[in-house]
Amino acid sequence: MNIGQLETIARQTRLRALEMALHAGAGHLGGSFSCTDVLVALYYGGFLRHDPANPDWDDRDRLILSKGHANGTLYVILADRGYFREAELDNFGRQGSCLGNHCDKTVPGVEITSGSLGHGLGVASGLAWSALLSGRDYRVFCIVGDGECQEGSIWEAAMFASQRRLGNLVAILDRNRLGSEDFTEDSAGLDPVEDKWTVFGWEVRSIDGHDFAQILPALEDCHTRASHQPLMIVANTVKGKGMPTLENTPRSHHTLPKGEEIDIARRALA
């Protein structure tokens, strides 16, 4: 799939997630839209080996969305790839639905329950380690929020992954620079974030997380690289990407577009 096609899918995915959240009256679109392009690259760009008809396939690559609140576009993608009926998206966040506001392992295609921050990278490390111990060659991809890097458990996992030489672990840091209330650098600053991961023993690549011309090369060798260092791709992104009135604002974390903002967002994503 070429870059133009991936861009189209990313736009359609955001639009469907927007409609889904508006229908539900809830959702974390800001953090979901900042990592949408990375998710689209993984699921449509051929990097994630998976089989929607067999979600428990032993040798599948694993995708852990550690920032579990950003499940909006992931659920749209999982439905589109055939893990569950597309119509189920209309039940998102509604009474009796299996699709809630955070990732739940009961949803086909979702590997772990996540939503409390700082857990996913440790679980991903355990999965990657399990593969090495068993001589299996699946890869583990983990999308980590930058806000959740303020949790100490993330750095416990960072030390562990390099100590155990988890070269089969690929983490993608969704560096949108925002928590739910403030910019990360105004609460518990992370910069220079690339340096931090480097000194923790990771190979670090820094990219524009909305530019497929940079995302694809960064992921290109994820199945073939010989390095035993875990790989961290710092994806510099914009929270709320695609919703002009909410982009790069703290309120995009949990606030949906209102009034004329809705049509502005729809037009931007059309």
Partner 1 sequence: MTRVYTEARDACFEELFDIASRDRDVILLTADTGAFAFKRFRKELPGQFFNVGIAEQNAMSVAAGLVLGGKRVFVFGISNFVTLRCFEQLKLDICCMDLPVTVIGMGTGYVYPKDGPTHHMTDVLSLVRTLPGLEIWSPSDYSIIAAAVRSAYRSTGPTYIYMDKGPFDSMYAPDADFSEGLALLRAGRDVTLVATGIMVPQAMRVAEQLSEGGIDAAVVDLYRLKPLNVPRLRGLLAASRRVVTMEENTIIGGLGSLVCEVVAEEGLLTRVKRIGMRDTYHCEIGDRESMRALDGIDLNSATETICQWLGTDVPTCATAPVVPVKSCSCDRQWTSSEASR
Residues that bind partner 1 (CB under 8 A): 58, 62, 105, 111-114, 116, 118-119, 121-131, 133-134, 136, 152-153, 156-157, 159-160, 163
Find the shortest distance in angstroms from Cβ 78 to partner 1: 18
Report d(CA 249, CA 270) in Å as an integer: 22
* CB-nearer residue toward partner 1: 17 or 128: 128
* Cis status, amide bond into 108, omega within 30 of 0: no
* CB-nearer residue toward partner 1: 124 or 219: 124
Neighbours of 87 (CB within 10 A): 8
Neighbours of 4 (CB within 10 A): 9
Asked if 36 and 73 touch (Cβ cutoff 8 Å), the reply is yes
- Letter string b/e over residues 213-247, b meaning 16 or more CB atoms within 10 A of that residue's CB: ebbbebbeebeeeeeebbbbbbbbbbbbbbbebbb
Find the shortest distance in angstroms from Cβ 172 to partner 1: 17
Find the shortest distance in angstroms from Cβ 121 to partner 1: 8
Find the shortest distance in angstroms from Cβ 136 to partner 1: 8
Output the CA–CA distances (angstroms, integers) from residue 17 to 135, 139, 174, in the order listed: 38, 27, 18
* CB-nearer residue toward partner 1: 48 or 128: 128
* CB-nearer residue toward partner 1: 127 or 234: 127
Find the shortest distance in angstroms from Cβ 164 to partner 1: 8
* CB-nearer residue toward partner 1: 98 or 159: 159
Find the shortest distance in angstroms from Cβ 134 to partner 1: 6
Asked if 82 and 44 touch (Cβ cutoff 8 Å), the reply is no
- One-letter amino acid at 163 equals Q
* CB-nearer residue toward partner 1: 124 or 238: 124
Phi-psi region of 259 (alpha: psi -120 to 50; beta: other; left: phi over 0): left
Report d(CA 179, CA 20) in Å as an integer: 23
